[in-house]
Structure 1
Amino acid sequence: MSRVPPFKEIIARSPRVFVIGVAGDSGSGKTTFTSAIRQIFGPDLVATITLDDYHKFDREERRRLDITPLHPDANNLSRLEVDVARLKEGRAIEKPVYNHTTGTFDPPVPFASKKIIILEGLHPLFTPALRELVDFSVFVDPDREVKYAWKRQRDTGQRGYSPGEVDGEIARREADYTDYVEPQRCLADTIIRIGYSKYGPDLGPAKNVYAISLLQNPMNQTVRDIVLSIDLTSLLAFHESDFFIEFSTRRIECAFLRALTFDGEMNYDTVRKLELSIEQQTGVHPIEMFTGRRTVTATDIVRLILSWRIINRRIFLQDSHS
């Protein structure tokens, strides 16, 4: 009997370039939810483009023009379309580089195509051409109070802004977010909602515990069933933390979507069974994203389930062209 190669090996051999678009506001946690794909497939197969590199103006020019990065006119989306199209053909590009520390542009750098390209930023789904190039899309949508707390922490700690400057930018950007970024929510395959935990808002900054919902239309394509097992013996005898799981229907502005919500912390053993199931059904070995940890958060669980959704999409694209 001939050996069926692992899916990771199939991706490496395939000429197809798979593009993932992750949209959301600045500081909304986009990188967090695609980190599992980077961990599973590794840097040889995955490359990430931060769309801030495609800003048209530097920080001082934006101030002078009174335009925010959330406005499409402040970004070179036509160049982004050309570059993504080249990458999808397997060709390298000269990628621009925006330096958040200085607020100016560094020299462009060579950027090679990989088998999986992740586009993270404000406008990956904004134009019809970009949407045509993207194979799977996510919109990361934290509650305002969560998002702005993260943005204040990041911009003062990593990007050199004062607290007053961050609050001023938040106020300036609100209208452009509503007009130009938020509408991409209705164009995404999956929406991730993030709110403070029902067990207390302090758990967010202290332990990274939030209520996380994965919203999507009903799936009509899966590899096989994935079972999220809960070991009742372990749960009743040894579980030390509170957690919550809910399945519900949510109304957003364009549709009713199915929402799977997790909150709190769960024993790692529960999630390891989900990891093993995904490994067995996709041939991606090993996953083991949380080895050595006693508990995992709702964010961790949704990262893993989102990875399974993305892997499913990639497998069906592979099968449909084989």
Structure 2
Amino acid sequence: MDYLPNFKEIIAHSPVVFTIGVAGDSGSGKTTFTNAIRQIFGPELLSTITLDDYHKYDREERRLRDITPLHPDANNLAQLETDIAQLKQGHPINKPVYNHSTGRFDPPVTFSPRKILILEGLHTLFTPRLLELMDFSIFVDPDKEVKYTWKRLRDMERRGYSSDQVTEEIVRREKDYETFIAPQRCDADAVIRIAPSKYGRQKGPERNVYSISLMQNRMRRTISDIDLNIDLYSLLSFHDEDFLIEFSTQFVNCAKMRSLTFDGEMNYETIRKLEKSIEHQTGVHPIAMFEGRKTVTATDIVQLILSWRIIHRRIFIRERA
């Protein structure tokens, strides 16, 4: 197969800092759905900032003020806007550091941007200026059942919270989530919805199997056709797991979006053909995220398709001197 010139090399020599903004509630899986783009481009070309570093108050101060980190007043959004603008110009910043283990701030660090910058947090798309600074935007939107299970596991295992503390935090945050975080769905290029699998709720925690919907606006330009191949012989002869693919039109708050939903598990060979197609059409190679695995989940498939959309957007970004 003949490839285009490797797009990784083009990015490496470009002056452009391409920003990917990922918004959503705490513990909603924001990092998961950019894992593919991280693996494809690697740490030499890609860096990440968590917006928790831009909290205005530490954990104890928030408790005393009775304010949650979801409220914009609890965050230094003006400093965030200034810092992202500097990073997009290729300039280093003095970045604050919030320590989740202690609930306090560590000393600031010098942060220099790489060619792709992922920004993950509660308010990534909250202001008009932040939206303007994002080249591609994502909102991750799990069902409450899924989100609260994930949050409980993460906060208890990695952040030292007790079960009662997590429950109290969930209740306190709900109003602010609906007021300040959820409306960002309207401005995202892609919305990812996560629900329990129709093949069994227990498959989520056991095998990371969920129903994943990737909702997007209509694409106006395309580099070429990308095929989602399904090998019918393999499917009818060797496939043991159940899976679903569904296309529909859904309304997301104020926008009508096209939704591609996957559920269950698929043979890896199905996705390998998609990987090869993306390699050929974008010039980004190698792409072999799931090599050696027998099956892949809906989460894996959506990661891969989302990475294609992100690469697609980057290809059409004009070079900024």
Q: Structure 1 counterpart of 2:24, which letter?
A: G
Instruction: Say if 2:4 and 2:282, in contact at 8 Å, map to a contact too.
Output: no
Q: Structure 2 counterpart of 1:240, which letter?
A: D
Aligned residue in 2 for 1:88 = 88
Q: Deviation per CA, 1:196-219: give whole Å up to 9, x if none.
A: 000000000000000000001221
Q: Aligned partners of 1:5, 1:268: CA distance in 2, in Å?
A: 27
Instruction: Say if 2:4 and 2:281, in contact at 8 Å, map to a contact too.
Output: no
Q: Structure 2 counterpart of 1:92, which letter?
A: P
Q: Structure 1 counterpart of 2:181, which letter?
A: V
TM-score normalised by length of structure 1: 0.97
Q: Structure 2 counterpart of 1:290, which letter?
A: F
Instruction: Say if 2:214 and 2:302, in contact at 8 Å, map to a contact too.
Output: yes
Q: Aligned partners of 1:121, 1:222: CA distance in 2, in Å?
A: 29
Aligned residue for 1:47, secondary structure, equals: strand
Aligned residue in 2 for 1:290 = 290
TM-score normalised by length of structure 2: 0.98
Q: Structure 2 counterpart of 1:28, which letter?
A: S
Structure 1 segment 231-250 matched on structure 2, within 5 A: 231-250=231-250
Aligned residue in 1 for 2:61 = 61
Structure 1 segment 87-166 matched on structure 2, within 5 A: 87-166=87-166
Aligned residue for 1:21, secondary structure, equals: strand
Deviation at 1:222, TM superposition (A): 1.5
Instruction: Say if 2:70 and 2:177, in contact at 8 Å, map to a contact too.
Output: yes
Q: Deviation per CA, 1:60-89: give whole Å up to 9, x if none.
A: 000000000000000000110111001000
Q: Aligned partners of 1:275, 1:46: CA distance in 2, in Å?
A: 20
Gaps of 5+ in 1: none
Q: Aligned partners of 1:143, 1:221: CA distance in 2, in Å?
A: 32
Deviation at 1:129, TM superposition (A): 1.0
Q: Aligned partners of 2:4, 2:214: CA distance in 1, in Å?
A: 32
Q: RMSD over aligned Cα, in angstroms?
A: 1.2
Aligned residue in 2 for 1:79 = 79
Q: Deviation per CA, 1:213-271: give whole Å up to 9, x if none.
A: 00012211211110000001000110010000000111222022110000000000000
Identity rate, percent: 70
Q: Aligned partners of 2:122, 2:263: CA distance in 1, in Å?
A: 27
Q: Aligned partners of 1:253, 1:289: CA distance in 2, in Å?
A: 33
Q: Structure 2 counterpart of 1:98, which letter?
A: Y
Deviation at 1:5, TM superposition (A): 3.2
Aligned residue in 2 for 1:210 = 210
Aligned residue for 1:248, secondary structure, equals: strand
Aligned residue in 2 for 1:274 = 274
Aligned residue in 2 for 1:222 = 222
Aligned residue in 2 for 1:190 = 190
Q: Deviation per CA, 1:32-79: give whole Å up to 9, x if none.
A: 001111110110110000000000000000000000000000000011
Deviation at 1:321, TM superposition (A): 6.6
Q: Aligned partners of 2:286, 2:111: CA distance in 1, in Å?
A: 28
Taking CA–CA contacts closer than 8 Å with sequence separation of 6 or more, which of the two structures ends up with the larger relative contact order?
2
Aligned residue for 2:26, secondary structure, equals: coil
- How many residues are paired up? 319
Aligned residue for 2:130, secondary structure, equals: helix
Aligned residue for 1:30, secondary structure, equals: coil
